[in-house]
Amino acid sequence: MACPFQHGSVPATRMPLAAAIAVTTSSGAASESAGTSTSDAASSGERQPVYYGDYLRLGTLLSLQQPESTHGGTRKAAHDEHLFIVIHQVYELWFKQILHELESIREIFSTDHIKERDMLTIVNRLGRVVEIEKIMVDQINILETMTALDFMEFRDYLVPASGFQSSQFRVLETLLGLRPENRTRYSQETYWNAFSDDDAGKLREAEGKRSFLELMERWLERTPGLHPDEFDFWSKYKAAVNDILAANRAQVDHAELTPETRQAVLAECDKNELSFQSVFDPAKHAELREKGERRLSHKAMQGAIMIFLYRDEPRFHLPFKMLNLLMDVDAFFSKWRYQHVMMVHRMIGNKLGTGGSSGYQYLRSTISDKYRIFIDLFNISTYLIPRSKTPPLSESMARKLNVFME
């Protein structure tokens, strides 16, 4: 038994003192006393000592690299296939970790009232997801040490396996909010045929769940200050913008300009006003949403604009941070896809991928904005107005954004 509070005080032997006690104690004293342990973790009396290799299941883990190019064990494997397997396994481990984080966030996010401390948890876990994505991007460099000719040594053995078939990655995209209709698919049938029944089941299950995009939408719609009886942000915002637009027109009217210049400037003013109309007018918004150019509800857009404008208020710190992290999550997946495309292009030229998924051209198609989940958030910047023109908070609204009563 270690002096329990001293985390990890046991000498580096495979038989910790804790276990030594368990062995020497005939009564249940040790395990009982564990109940008084000072840490949340312990109760070490009953536990077997933990060995690093056992804990990580290294015996099994390190036996899962089975190259196909051994031709059923009759030949020496192509040297580089080991790397190919390992890096894909590493990716799958990271996918699992990301899913672990996202699932825990979805759980919190699914409640109607998210406490401040839970918001902190969300922000911290999204931050972790982003760090993982950075590594996912960077480790493509490792695979790039394999040349096209080296890949050719074992490529045919993998037919028709394809990274396209990573069900974890597809579940992940789906949970974030990638809609089936935005995927590049050749035909419904072909798509589903690519997966094992088990994997297809997981995909369909994920498609049935509320995505992050939907949960975020519902949460944005609840942004404090939106309700007309409350602060009525939207009316105030529209008024502020309209003042700005009118002032612009007035400025142009009073300026001495050549006719061409006046025409050019006024054309810009028109374009500018039209852009704001698309967010003011619910019908126009609905139309854009129909076309897939916007994804969030009109109300959610209002919430997002409000958070962006008043992000300095204490209660909007974490919400603003969270929206930014969601953009990061999106951006890094895009970057990963892009770097992946470049690598694949170099590795297989414009040939088909191992799964026949059309390789370079297919992957190129996934870099389009269709694959970006939170694109509305990126576009919010279009609707920001300067701090000096932002409607001042009412006293009660200011108070509200300064208090957390949970």
Instruction: Please say which residue, 123 or 213, places its beta carbon nearer to a second copy.
Output: 123
Instruction: Please say which residue, 382 or 396, places its beta carbon nearer to a second copy.
Output: 382
Planar angle of CA 326, 185, 366, nearest 5 degrees: 40
How close are the terminal C-alpha atoms of the chain, in Å? Answer: 41
Planar angle of CA 207, 212, 215, nearest 5 degrees: 105
Cβ burial, residue 87 (10 Å; 0-12/13-18/19+): middle
Long-range contacts of 40-48 (CB under 8 A, 24+ apart): 42/4, 44/1, 44/2, 44/4, 44/16, 44/18, 45/1, 45/18, 45/21, 46/22, 47/18, 47/19, 47/22, 48/19
Q: How far is the CB of 67 from a second copy (least distance, A)?
A: 9
Give me 88's structure tokens. Answer: 């894909």
- Distance between CA atoms of residues 322 and 100, nearest Å: 18
- Distance between CA atoms of residues 74 and 68, nearest Å: 11
Q: How far is the CB of 283 from a second copy (least distance, A)?
A: 20
3-state secondary structure of 91: helix
Q: How far is the CB of 101 from a second copy (least distance, A)?
A: 8
For residue 332, give every residue at least 6 positions away whose Cβ sits within 8 Å of its Cβ, in sequence order, or none: 130, 133, 134, 136, 137
Q: Could you please report the per-residue DSSP string of 50-62?
A: P-HHHHTTHHHHT
Instruction: Please say which residue, 228 or 273, places its beta carbon nearer to a second copy.
Output: 273
Q: How far is the CB of 394 from a second copy (least distance, A)?
A: 16
Residue corresponding to tokens 């996202």: 102
Instruction: Please say which residue, 74 or 290, places its beta carbon nearer to a second copy.
Output: 74
Q: How far is the CB of 358 from a second copy (least distance, A)?
A: 9
Instruction: Please say which residue, 272 or 365, places its beta carbon nearer to a second copy.
Output: 272
Q: How far is the CB of 373 from a second copy (least distance, A)?
A: 13
Q: How far is the CB of 324 from a second copy (least distance, A)?
A: 8
- Distance between CA atoms of residues 266 and 249, nearest Å: 8
- Distance between CA atoms of residues 179 and 167, nearest Å: 15
Instruction: Please say which residue, 229 or 369, places its beta carbon nearer to a second copy.
Output: 369
Q: Could you please report the per-residue DSSP string of 348-366?
A: HTTSPPTTSS-HHHHHHHT
Q: Could you please report the per-residue DSSP string of 36-52?
A: T-SSSS--TTTSPPP-H
Instruction: Please say which residue, 58 or 286, places its beta carbon nearer to a second copy.
Output: 58
Instruction: Please say which residue, 41 or 286, places its beta carbon nearer to a second copy.
Output: 41
Q: How far is the CB of 226 from a second copy (least distance, A)?
A: 20
Give me 404's structure tokens. Answer: 């957390």
Q: How far is the CB of 198 from a second copy (least distance, A)?
A: 8
Instruction: Please say which residue, 40 or 181, places its beta carbon nearer to a second copy.
Output: 40
